[in-house]
């Protein structure tokens, strides 16, 4: 399915369709909007959490409209419960579609996780076992989302703290299977790889080497917190509350060496810093992105010019 062709057919949006520029983007926070607009911040794109713009009107939509006039956006759902055992909430999906129709985002993504069960929304990205049964369920849900919104979505690999004894697929193979069976693309969260690898005792580089990276259309980067598990061993928490750590920057470079230049997002959701700090973090990612071009900077600048 070609996302660009489908979006250009949507008549409802007042915004032009664009691909995400191959640059660093930043997760949009309401408190940064004034700084961003006043400084005409040089940022590749902004990612928004869909649920935050599902209200009927007011400030959130006014802010997003202004941002969208100047920047491409990526729409990232956090509450679809793609990995849920029950049905997708049709009302939620309809609201999701409405947002896409209005703002015409360059990318649409969701998580390999569940958050709703028996009509209760748990406000967290909860883990699922990797079995044939859950694979079929996830693929069915992605199919449903893609057919309702009329375009391809990206699915993000999770940070997890537990595993299920019944899992008989590896996470890497599971991700490859859902993409193969549903036609979705993948959002590769490098920090999640590092967090899950540490928590479950495997090497993040092994995960990256085995991953179907040719399906990756966007990368996420974030900071994490350190805690300890039941045996006092290190347990990492996907807290999005600080800078990206050196290990994750290194894995990011490894990833880019395999994917080629890919739009990359800095996520910082807790202990939200000043706009200046966040912008610096994005510049760091931009610098690494430039170097990932085989033909270095010329390609980057042509990308930037078309953005």
Partner 1 sequence: MSNKSVATAAIVAGAISAALTMSIAVQPAHAAKIKCYGVAKAGANDCAAGPGTTCAGTAKIDFQSNAWKFVDAKSCDEVVMKMDGKTFMGMAESSDTNLPEKMMKKG
Partner 2 sequence: MIRNSKNITNSKEAAPNYIIRTSQFSSALLNPDLETPKGVGEKDGTPAPKRFGVYRNNVVVSLIEALKAAYPSIANIMGEKNFQQIARFYVSEHPPRSAMMQIFGSEFPQFIENLPPLKNAPFLVDVARAEKAWLKAYHTHDAKPLNLETLRKFSPEETMQLTFTTHPASHLIKSKYPVNDLFDFRNEKPENGVDMQMSQHLLITRPHLSVFTTALNNTYANFFDLILRGETLGNAIGTSLKMSDEFDAGQAISLLIQTGAVTSTKVNTNLDTKVHTKTQIQNNFKHT
Q: Closest Cα partner for 191 from 278, 251, 130?
A: 251
- Find the binder of partner 1 among 4, 65, 123, 277 (CB under 8 A): 123
Q: Closest Cα partner for 121 from 152, 154, 84, 149?
A: 84
Q: Which residues of 94-104 are buried (b: 16+ CB within 10 A; e: fewer)?
A: ebbbebbebbb
Residues 211, 22: Cα–Cα separation, whole Å: 21
- Find the binder of partner 1 among 1, 6, 235, 245 (CB under 8 A): 235
Q: With CB under 8 A as the contact rule, which of the stretches 45-53, 87-95, 143-151, 245-253 interacts with partner 1?
A: 45-53
Cα dihedral 255/152/178/252 (nearest 10): 10
- Find the binder of partner 2 among 48, 78, 112, 184 (CB under 8 A): 78
Work out whether 55 is an interface residue with partner 2 (CB under 8 A). Answer: yes
Positive or negative: CA dihedral 149, 150, 151, 154 = positive
Q: With CB under 8 A as the contact rule, which of the stretches 3-11, 209-217, 219-227, 280-288 interacts with partner 1?
A: 219-227
C-beta closer to partner 2: residue 12 or 165? 165
Work out whether 62 is an interface residue with partner 2 (CB under 8 A). Answer: yes
> Helix (H, G, I), strand (E, B), or coil: what is residue 95?
helix
Judged by beta carbon distances under 5 to 8 A according to partner kind, the member of partner 2, partner 1, none in contact with residue 267 is: partner 1
Half-sphere exposure of 83 (CA within 13 A, CB side): 24
C-beta closer to partner 1: residue 115 or 292? 115
Work out whether 229 is an interface residue with partner 2 (CB under 8 A). Answer: yes
Q: Nearest 5 degrees, angle CA 19-CA 147-CA 153?
A: 35
Of residues 152 through 181, those in contact with partner 1 by CB under 8 A are: 159
CB 32 within 8 A of CB 25: no
C-beta closer to partner 2: residue 97 or 258? 97
Could you tell me the two tokens for 51?
């649920």
Work out whether 80 is an interface residue with partner 2 (CB under 8 A). Answer: yes
Q: Closest Cα partner for 125 from 163, 83, 92?
A: 83
C-beta closer to partner 2: residue 8 or 65? 65
> What are the CA-CA distances from residue 194 to residues 55, 169, 243, 272 (Å)?
34, 19, 14, 21
Work out whether 69 is an interface residue with partner 2 (CB under 8 A). Answer: no
Judged by beta carbon distances under 5 to 8 A according to partner kind, the member of partner 2, partner 1, none in contact with residue 217 is: none
Positive or negative: CA dihedral 111, 112, 113, 118 = positive
- Contacts with partner 1 by CB under 8 A lie at 30-31, 49, 51-52, 55, 59, 76, 78-79, 111, 123-125, 159, 222, 225, 227-229, 235, 237-241, 267, 269-270
- Contacts with partner 2 by CB under 8 A lie at 51-52, 54-62, 78-81, 84-86, 89, 92, 95, 114-124, 126-129, 131, 133-134, 137, 161-166, 199-201, 227-230, 235, 237
């Amino acid at each position: 399915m070609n996302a660009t062709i489908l979006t250009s057919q949507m008549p409802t949006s007042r915004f032009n369709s664009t691909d995400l520029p191959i640059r660093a983007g930043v997760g949009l926070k309401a408190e940064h909007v004034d700084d961003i607009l006043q400084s005409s911040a040089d940022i590749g794109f902004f990612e928004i959490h869909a649920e935050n713009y599902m209200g009927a009107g007011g400030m959130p939509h006014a802010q997003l409209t202004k941002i969208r006039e100047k920047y491409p956006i990526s729409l990232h759902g956090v509450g679809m419960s793609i990995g849920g055992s029950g049905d997708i909430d049709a009302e939620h999906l309809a609201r999701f579609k409405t947002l896409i129709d209005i703002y015409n985002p360059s990318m649409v993504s969701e998580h390999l996780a569940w958050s709703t069960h028996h009509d209760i929304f748990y406000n967290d990205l909860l883990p699922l076992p990797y079995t044939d049964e859950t694979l079929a369920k996830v693929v069915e849900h992605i199919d449903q989302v893609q057919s309702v919104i009329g375009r391809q979505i990206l699915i993000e690999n999770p940070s997890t703290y537990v595993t299920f004894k019944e899992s008989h697929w590896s996470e890497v193979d599971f991700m490859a299977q859902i993409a193969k069976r549903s036609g979705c693309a993948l959002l590769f969260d490098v920090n999640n790889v590092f967090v899950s690898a540490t928590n479950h005792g495997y090497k993040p580089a092994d995960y990256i080497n085995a991953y179907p990276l040719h399906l990756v259309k966007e990368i996420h980067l974030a900071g994490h917190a350190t805690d300890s598990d039941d045996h006092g061993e290190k347990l990492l928490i996907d807290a999005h509350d600080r800078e990206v750590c050196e290990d994750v920057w290194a894995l990011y470079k490894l990833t880019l060496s395999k994917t080629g230049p890919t739009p990359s997002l800095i996520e910082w959701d807790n202990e939200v810093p000043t706009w200046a700090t966040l912008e610096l973090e994005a510049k760091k990612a931009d610098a690494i992105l430039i170097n990932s071009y085989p033909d270095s900077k010329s390609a980057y600048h042509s990308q930037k010019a078309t953005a």
